[in-house]
Amino acid sequence: MPPLDLGVLISGRGSNLQAILDAIAAGRLDARVRLVLSNRADVEGLARAERAGVPTRVIAHRDFTDRDSFDAAVVAALREAGATWVVLAGFMRLLTTTFLDAFPHRVVNIHPSLLPSFPGVDAQQQALDHGVRVTGCTVHLVDAGTDTGPILAQAAVPVLDGDDRDALAARILVQEHGLLIRALSWIAEGRLQIAPPDVPGGRARATLAGVETALGLAQSGPARGDVGGVGEVGEGA
């Protein structure tokens, strides 16, 4: 199969973008980053892309009167760059159907919780507020809902006594980096299969051929327990 042609959308520091760039450089991910696009100028993620020789572009959402027109401009930029898959790597904007219809089942997001628990913003603090003992991260395809798209892979991270939001977020982020690369690698290998909804208005279903459905439990330290999961439910830095 040809390499994945990725467009990566960011809004900040781009640590998950860096994980993608490092994996490509090391030969662990068969992909090419065609464009890194940010809705904010002067963010660290753009500098990461420039150091790697990857084209960058800034399209400020505040320059548009509505979400659809902003999304149409982003779609045009991605298509011009030759991107056929999109990765949301800390992109802090909700996508409209204008965007999703342009890349059907080809928009990948990583979220810092075990979806469907704690969707939306500040999932790490949500986990602490609810007193859960295990949280984690999820790689999923994006649909029109908030973090409701088909789940591709998950990694679990224990919530430790004394954790605050920053400590928990840092430990989850370690797992995000490994899990995102693993999920993108499975896509690059042609493992992803999409089944249409069983009923009108239902959710599409995603499976990854040859991938176990176990959920890995990762301790603090290097990513090592991010075992893939598949499902039909549906922000990282």
Report the 10 Å Cβ neighbour count for 229. Answer: 21
Tokens 């959402």 identify what position? Answer: 61
Contact 13, 46 (CB under 8 A): no
The helix (run of H) or strand (run of E) holding residue 15 is helix 15-25
CA 95 to CA 131: how far, in whole Å?
30
DSSP reduced 3-state for 115 = coil
Question: How far is residue 55 CA from its own chain's centroid?
Answer: 20
Q: What is the DSSP letter of 222?
A: S
Is the bond preceding 2 in cis, omega lying within 30 degrees of 0?
A: no
Q: What angle do CA 141, 121, 132 make, to 5 degrees?
A: 95
Contact 36, 67 (CB under 8 A): no
Closest CA relative to residue 37, chosen from 14, 5, 10: 10
61 is catalytic: no
Which DSSP string corresponds to 112-151?
Answer: SS-TTSS-SS-HHHHHHHHT-SEEEEEEEE--SSSS-SPE
Q: Which of 61, 105, 111, 140 is labelled catalytic?
A: 111
**Which residues are the active-site residues?**
111
